[in-house]
Amino acid sequence: MLVLEFIFDKSNPNWVDGNNTYNFTLLLACEEYMNHKYELKGRVTLDEILNYLEIPIPPGLEFYGWDKEFYGDKHIEFGIRDQMKPDQKIDCIFLRFNIPMDNKTRKEVTS
């Protein structure tokens, strides 16, 4: 597995400063949406997730993602649940993606 970490913070247009509940709810809703998409399409790329959240994706990572054919019925997780502290001021949330490293999951997605 390849672990990639991205930061969701005030530099993102979706961030609401001082509202942890909103920020975590947004990310959890996106995680749920991407898992539904994964169930229906059988494939989701990291690029799709980051574009949805308006987080820039570094070059070379566009086609990494999850493919049911090789990854199975596992779920996509953003790795944020351990950071959920509603009573504390949070300046950023770290998104941690566990991405399968099998070259077969690196297929280019064509529309």
pLDDT in tens, 75-99: 899 999 889 876 788 899 999 998 8
Return d(Cα 95, Cα 107) in angstroms, integer: 23
Yes or no: say if 61 and 99 are a contact pair by the CB < 8 Å rule. Answer: no
Closest CA to 95 of 108, 81, 105: 81
Return d(Cα 44, Cα 42) in angstroms, integer: 7
The pLDDT of residue 104: 44
Between 111 and 87, name the one with better pLDDT. 87
The pLDDT of residue 110: 41
- What's the pTM? 0.84
**Would the pLDDT of 101 be above 60?**
yes
pLDDT in tens, 28-66: 999 999 999 999 999 999 999 999 999 998 888 887 899
Confidence of residue 103 (pLDDT cuts 50, 70, 90): very low
